Amino acid sequence: MLEVRGLTIRTGAETLVEDLSLSLAEGSLTCLIGPSGCGKSSVVKWLAGVLAPELQAKGDALIDGSTAIFPHRDIAYQPQQDTLFPWLTAAENACLGLEIGGMERRAARDRVDALFPTFGLEGHEESFPDQLSGGMRQRAAFLRTIVQDARVLLLDEPFSALDAVTRLCMQDWLVARLAERPRAVLMVTHDLYEATQMADRVLVMAGGPGRIIADIPISTPSAERSETALAEIRSSLKLMLLKEIP
Ligand SMILES: Nc1ncnc2c1ncn2[C@@H]1O[C@H](COP(=O)(O)OP(=O)(O)OP(=O)(O)O)[C@@H](O)[C@H]1O
């Protein structure tokens, strides 16, 4: 449903990302992995329409075959930094995407409140971001993104600040929600376990300039994947990444 063709991102004379193409199908979770600085976040920011103004981007994007301009109402984005507004409470922050999308404040609040326990945030609805731990802030930012009914989710390291168990719970929760309501998800991660457990496709990027060097489908449904099969994929991903680290 979403297609990117020939994306190049430059800053002055330096090319950060070169001629990158990818497509995201509805009902698919694609993980984008690659060494630090290879351009993963820049690609996602371009799709979210929040690329820094000093960067120049050229490329085409299509949603359902029609040219798309970003930001786009079908796309919800969770940045790498949680970017919660410090003057809003956790619940107000979580409601923001819904309200910007036109939902009435009470309805947005009801929808968000129902998910606070699942996200381990119950009792913190009225807390301000500086009263929450890093992991709680990240879960509030994830909630703000996922609660929107956007058809495309862009998640930039959404679980990086979470403890191991909470991270597993959030991963399972997301996979289960996507099974109920298919969307197209592009998720940046450095965690090869996360990528192989969740994704049905892993795109590997290399740097200098950023480009996709491998496109690895994982066809077995997430719940049925054997540890042996995943270990094999992880080990080949690791070898690819090791070659890319200077
Ligand atoms: N606003 C900017 N101005 C100049 N260069 C930038 C800007 N934003 C990013 N870059 C450069 O673009 C390159 C890619 O950065 P980006 O954040 O996209 O990488 P990444 O793969 O997401 O890294 P990480 O895994 O560490 O988050 C880096 O060399 C970075 O320094």
Residue nearest to atom 18 of ligand 1 (CA): 39
Quote ipTM for the complex: 0.98
Pocket lined around ligand 1, Cβ cut-off 6 Å: 11, 16, 34, 36-42, 52, 54-55, 80
Distance between start and end Cα atoms, the chain: 35
pLDDT tens readout for residues 130-189: 999 999 999 999 999 999 989 999 999 999 989 999 899 889 989 988 999 899 999 999
Residue nearest to atom 29 of ligand 1 (CA): 37
pLDDT tens readout for residues 45-59: 999 999 999 999 999
Domains delineated in the chain: 2-74+153-244 (3.40.50.300), 84-149 (no CATH)
- Going from the Cα of 73 to the center of ligand 1, the distance in angstroms, rounded, reads 25
Contact 153, 184 (CB under 8 A): yes
- Going from the Cα of 75 to the center of ligand 1, the distance in angstroms, rounded, reads 21
Residue nearest to atom 4 of ligand 1 (CA): 11
Contact 230, 199 (CB under 8 A): no
Question: How do beta strands 152-156 and 66-67 pair?
Answer: unpaired
Q: Which three-class secondary structure string do you get for 70-110?
A: CCCCCEEEECCCCCCCCCCCHHHHHHHHHHHCCCCHHHHHH
Q: Which residues contact 118 (CB under 8 A, 6 or more apart)?
A: 173
- Going from the Cα of 43 to the center of ligand 1, the distance in angstroms, rounded, reads 10
Three-state secondary-structure class, residue 195: helix
Give the pLDDT band of residue 27 (cuts 50, 70, 90).
very high
Mutate to test the pocket of ligand 1, among 8, 31, 32, 41 (most ligand atoms within 8 A of CB): 41
Q: Model pTM?
A: 0.94
Mean pLDDT in the chain? 94
Residue nearest to atom 26 of ligand 1 (CA): 36
Please give the Cα distance from 200 to 212 (Å, whole number). 16
- Going from the Cα of 41 to the center of ligand 1, the distance in angstroms, rounded, reads 7
Question: How do beta strands 2-11 and 14-24 pair?
Answer: antiparallel
- Going from the Cα of 69 to the center of ligand 1, the distance in angstroms, rounded, reads 22
H helix or E strand, kind and range, residue 240: helix 227-244
The label of the residue with tokens 């004379």 reads 13
